[in-house]
Structure 1
Amino acid sequence: MPYKFNDAGRDKFPKAKYRVTNCSEYNESLRRRGDLTIWVSDDVVKNWASPRRKTRGGQARYSDLAIEICLTLRVVFRLPFRQTQGFMRSIARLMGMDLVVPDFSTLSRRGKGLRIAQNRRAASKPITLIVDSTGLKVRGDNGWHEEKHGAKKARKTWRKLHIALDPVTGKIAATELTSEHVGDETALSALLTDIDDDVSRFLADGAYDGQGVVDCLIEKFGHEVEIIIPPPKNAVHGKNAQRNHHIDVIAQNGRMNWQTKTGYNERSRVEAQIGRWKQAIGDRLQARDFDSQIAEAKIASKTLNRMTALGRAAYERVV
């Protein structure tokens, strides 16, 4: 949809209102997010130590699971490394676990390039995949210092987070963190690497309009995948038959009608998920090293999926 398509007459359209129909269940799921037993289970003791390595080299003291649990607490409660160590140490003491908690330097070192195993279940039928991207801050202040004291604006660094969402389950199917210089079309191939389910529909905004995206989707999911990407206003026919059909429908019936018929408006779900990410996790990455930032993004994605599994809000429109 074009930016502010109906902006001139926006005041003539009443804003849609919705209400939550499962308030008690949803409120309980929000409370459970703060339950420490959700993030630290009782069986972590037997998997806390690293398995004995059979190759040459030093023996790691902590397993990847132990590091992941500590870093998950860091992401959920937005803690520095030292406070994460103290927090995990107090949890182990309160739960009666005999654990030696990794120190802050071990968490920082092991967090670089840590492989995060996502808990996924194979879908029984092909899914719909919605893709979008957003920016996450790395460092740099909020501008107050420059405005108050007239200081020179510092160069800010940020990363680009690419998200693939399954709208039926509400869970993040895949994430990819890149630098700000990597385009959406370029990052798509790496984003789809972790997706093992069959995909019947693919939705994305106009930034993904390109033959490279089409070739990548056909190679990954086959020729049967339905690609719903809005072509630009001056688009012309090309090699892709689906895109040519979209151009013809928009020319005949208008873009708004095309959005309704194709279900393109469902793409707003991934935008809502991005807003949920920045509200629950934050709009800033805590790590400074790029490999650590990738692991942090993977952990945040897994954390949001666990929050979703606790319970989702069910809405209905108020007439």
Structure 2
Amino acid sequence: MPHKFNDARRDKFPKAKYRVSNCSEYNESLRRRGDVTIWVSDDVVQKWRSPRRKTRGGQSRYSDLAIEICLTLRVVFRLPLRQTQGFVRSTAKLMGMALVVPDFSFLSRRGKGLKITPNRSVSDKSITLIVDSTGLKVHGGNGWHEEKHGTKKARKTWRKLHIGLDPETGDIVASKLTTEHVGDETALPELLTDMDADVSRFLADGAYDGQGVADCLIGKFGRGVEVIIPPPKNAAHGENAQRNHHIDAIAQHGRMSWQTKTGYNERSRIEAQIGRWKQVIGDRLQARDFDNQIAEVKIASKALNRMTGLGRAAYERVF
């Protein structure tokens, strides 16, 4: 939780302990994540080649599915493009598939602007949407050339990853990659563009506290959406009735009580999802071009959702 008023005597509060109640099922789902047959289905041969175009221009040799499969294996197993080509080629040979694997340079070119179909659970119910952002490193020069040869020190840069999480299913329902100069409130409208689910509750940290966020959510999901964003300490009443109610509740009962009653503590799940992204996918983008990096983020989101579909850990509190 971001507001630890009892931090000075925090050691007096015993830390809650949990255990996994479905160990066997969860262990099997972790094993299946490394199974190549999970990522390459049997009908891939029929969809490997691109359908013949009837308009002017050259014929495309590989379908978008073929490029997506190769780039997905690259993201999941953290492979460079050349090793990806060899890995897919050997996998097709072992599985008895007669496939011509795209060249590494071809994968790089086709990755720009690649349309990725989202892989997430479809629900008729309204969902709770939790939004947050984090930084991802990009490829840069190493310090050896700077120290040994006195070359100009490279300016460090990074990308900003914005994601939206459905805590009930554990799926990433929205993802957006921007430069480091784009703020959370500015990136929210584009983040919600591809969402097809109805949202009844919206949770985010104080970086999203603004009238622009409220207007964006009302325009996208209607006035019935419940917005749970902690206002700052010096917040004043304004035109937003929900925000005014949060300010009054915090003033009367305290911020910790407000967090418990509104369910704001559920926002910790997206922090865990960000940690999972950096543990499984990595904290660095492999692609160097920005358009390829956007495709890489879309593929990573789809791969994580597929891993979630294989099985999730069920926790129960023991202390």
| Structure 1 residues 283 and 145: CA distance shift in structure 2, 3 A | farther
| Structure 1 residues 211 and 52: CA distance shift in structure 2, 3 A | same
Contact 1:21 1:316 in 2 (8 A): yes
Q: Distance in 1 between matches of 2:274 and 2:249?
A: 30
Aligned to 1:139: 139
Aligned to 1:99: 99
Aligned to 2:117: 117
| Structure 1 residues 4 and 255: CA distance shift in structure 2, 3 A | closer
Aligned to 2:23: 23
| Amino acid in structure 2 at the alignment position of 1:102 | P
Aligned to 2:9: 9
Range with greater deviation from structure 2 (185-194 or 47-56):
47-56
| Structure 1 residues 148 and 245: CA distance shift in structure 2, 3 A | farther
Q: Distance in 1 between matches of 2:142 and 2:185?
A: 30
5+ residue gaps, structure 2, are none
SS in 2 for 1:194: coil
Aligned to 1:177: 177
Aligned to 2:56: 56
| Structure 1 residues 317 and 84: CA distance shift in structure 2, 3 A | same
Contact 2:121 2:169 in 1 (8 A): no
Contact 2:129 2:199 in 1 (8 A): yes
Listed as ranges, the matches of 1:77-92 within 5 Å are: 77-92=77-92
| Amino acid in structure 1 at the alignment position of 2:168 | V
| Amino acid in structure 2 at the alignment position of 1:247 | I
Q: Distance in 2 between matches of 1:289 and 1:194?
A: 23
Q: Distance in 2 between matches of 1:126 and 1:204?
A: 17
| Structure 1 residues 292 and 312: CA distance shift in structure 2, 3 A | same
Q: Distance in 1 between matches of 2:253 and 2:75?
A: 47
Do structure 1's residue 257 and structure 2's residue 242 form an aligned pair?
A: no
| Amino acid in structure 1 at the alignment position of 2:225 | V
Do structure 1's residue 272 and structure 2's residue 272 form an aligned pair?
A: yes
Do structure 1's residue 282 and structure 2's residue 282 form an aligned pair?
A: yes
Aligned to 2:34: 34
Aligned to 1:295: 295
| Amino acid in structure 2 at the alignment position of 1:267 | R
| Structure 1 residues 248 and 286: CA distance shift in structure 2, 3 A | same
Q: Distance in 2 between matches of 1:281 and 1:225?
A: 32
| Structure 1 residues 220 and 102: CA distance shift in structure 2, 3 A | same
5+ residue gaps, structure 1, are none
Q: Distance in 1 between matches of 2:155 and 2:257?
A: 43
Q: Distance in 2 between matches of 1:146 and 1:18?
A: 48
Aligned to 1:246: 246
- Deviation at residue 156 of structure 1 after TM alignment: 1.2
Contact 1:139 1:156 in 2 (8 A): no
Aligned to 2:161: 161
| Amino acid in structure 2 at the alignment position of 1:88 | V
| Structure 1 residues 144 and 31: CA distance shift in structure 2, 3 A | farther
Q: Distance in 2 between matches of 1:193 and 1:67?
A: 24
| Structure 1 residues 223 and 67: CA distance shift in structure 2, 3 A | same
Q: Distance in 2 between matches of 1:128 and 1:280?
A: 24
Aligned to 2:65: 65
Deviations 1:246-268 (A, max 9, x none): 00000000000000000000000
- Deviation at residue 146 of structure 1 after TM alignment: 8.4
SS in 2 for 1:128: strand
SS in 1 for 2:294: helix
TM-score by length of 1: 0.96
- Deviation at residue 6 of structure 1 after TM alignment: 3.0
Range with greater deviation from structure 2 (142-151 or 159-168):
142-151
SS in 1 for 2:242: helix
- Deviation at residue 5 of structure 1 after TM alignment: 3.8
Deviations 1:204-234 (A, max 9, x none): 0000000000000000000000000000000
Contact 1:48 1:62 in 2 (8 A): yes
Contact 1:209 1:229 in 2 (8 A): yes
- Deviation at residue 11 of structure 1 after TM alignment: 1.4
SS in 1 for 2:138: strand
Q: Distance in 1 between matches of 2:126 and 2:280?
A: 29
TM-score by length of 2: 0.96
Contact 2:3 2:256 in 1 (8 A): no
| Amino acid in structure 2 at the alignment position of 1:113 | G
CA RMSD of aligned residues (A): 2.0
Contact 2:120 2:302 in 1 (8 A): no
